[in-house]
Amino acid sequence: MNHAVKGFLAAGIAAGIKKNGQMDLGLLVSERPAVAAGMFTNNRVTAACVRLDRERLAASGTCRAIIVNSGNANCCTGDAGMNDAIAMAKAPAGDLGIDEEEVLVASTGVIGQKLPVEKVEAAVPALTRMLSPEDGLAGFARAIMTTDTVPKVVTRKGEIGGISYTITGIAKGAGMIRPDMATMLCFAATDIGIGRDDLRRIVAEANEKSFNRITIDGDTSTNDTLLVLANGMSGAKVRTDDDKITFSETLEAVLVALAKMCVRDGEGATKLVEISVVNAASHADARRIADTVANSNLVKTAFFGQDANWGRIFAAMGRAGVDFDPERVDLYFGDVLLVENGQYVGRGAENAATEVLKQPEFSVRIDLKAGVAEEIAWTCDFSVEYVKINADYRS
């Protein structure tokens, strides 16, 4: 599929930040100023790039370029780290002929180590010469990866007023994932025209229905960043309430697809699992139960072992801080009813449920029979490989 977005160029290169010599520096550029909206980690420990981007978005709400490095988080690095983030933003500005304040920065990798910004500066001239609309996006996607096994790129097209527009989203993330804002790193480029306030609201809403619904290991990163740029170069423009709904649905589709790709590619993961809580008394109740089950290590290890251990799910539900009647709950693995009104259905149902758990993707549905509210979370299993990856991450 062609991922190109009108007026956007990108590239990726190996700058020598990673020890293994893989690509580790990416650049995304809009040919003209783009309206920008961002969401960032709520972790109290924040990387220099997060603080810099917050400042720049608050000041202008526009952006011309995003430069991203992998292999080093530039977090817990003090004043020197902030100076390095500023220098990193400045590096492509001269070659691109733009103001350095129009450049946003993102970093991902090991926390607490000084960013080798001199390697970034040395690589930027070659990086800017490599900028291209289609191949460049593929290179950018690979350059921002850390423990990801595959690049994550999603494109959707829409139409407003008879004019088509494109959204392409690129994400990285396979570990340290339990978003409390957006997640990991995600960048979306669109050629639609939209106002700053509308873009901010739509990005926040789409994020809440996508990245804020996933978990891999229950940890929120210090560097989580979601940035969306809209340069208006397609000629399509968001004007009416219907236009806003149309664009919102398209962006949400991109972010949901990327979010699920991240969970599917979770460190050591072998399964993508949708936790669905239905007929809850409120959306808040449904959300709390879905999140608690999705983040339970015991539930996740049972998924890995293909063990339909429904007692672990009930135990997680019971500590979610939600008032519900356990003796009314039905529990399904896929379409298999394993628990009805809080009681085990029997060995035949468990055998069928075990077959569901052998699939690479399946759902767990929890029916509270307490109302009409529904919520979803996406999670993965916990495997031995997850421990190995994170035990060796810095070496």
> 11 with 131: CB under 8 angstroms?
yes
Q: Is 322 helix (H, G, I), strand (E, B) or coil?
A: coil
Residue 191 near residue 234 (C-beta atoms within 8 A):
yes
**Quick one: 353 exposed, middle or buried, by C-beta within 10 A (0-12, 13-18, 19+)?**
buried
Backbone angles phi, psi at 158, to 5 degrees: -140, 180
Determine the residue type at 327. E
∠ CA(367), CA(371), CA(377), 5° rounding? 50
Give me the catalytic one of 46, 146, 183, 225.
183
Q: How far is CA 261 from CA 4, 21, 139, 157, 356, in A?
A: 20, 25, 18, 19, 20
166 is a catalytic site residue: no
Contact, 67 vs 26, CB < 8 A?
A: yes
Which CA distances in Å does 291 have to 118, 312, 382? 42, 14, 16
Asked if 308 contacts 385 with a C-beta cutoff of 8 angstroms, the reply is: no
- Residue among 279, 202, 283 at smallest CA distance from 244: 202
Alpha helices in the chain (DSSP H): 48-59, 78-96, 117-129, 135-143, 196-208, 241-264, 283-294, 297-304, 310-318, 347-357, 384-391
Length of the chain: 395
Residue type, 93: A
Rounded CA separation 43/54 (Å)? 14
**Active-site residues: which are they?**
183
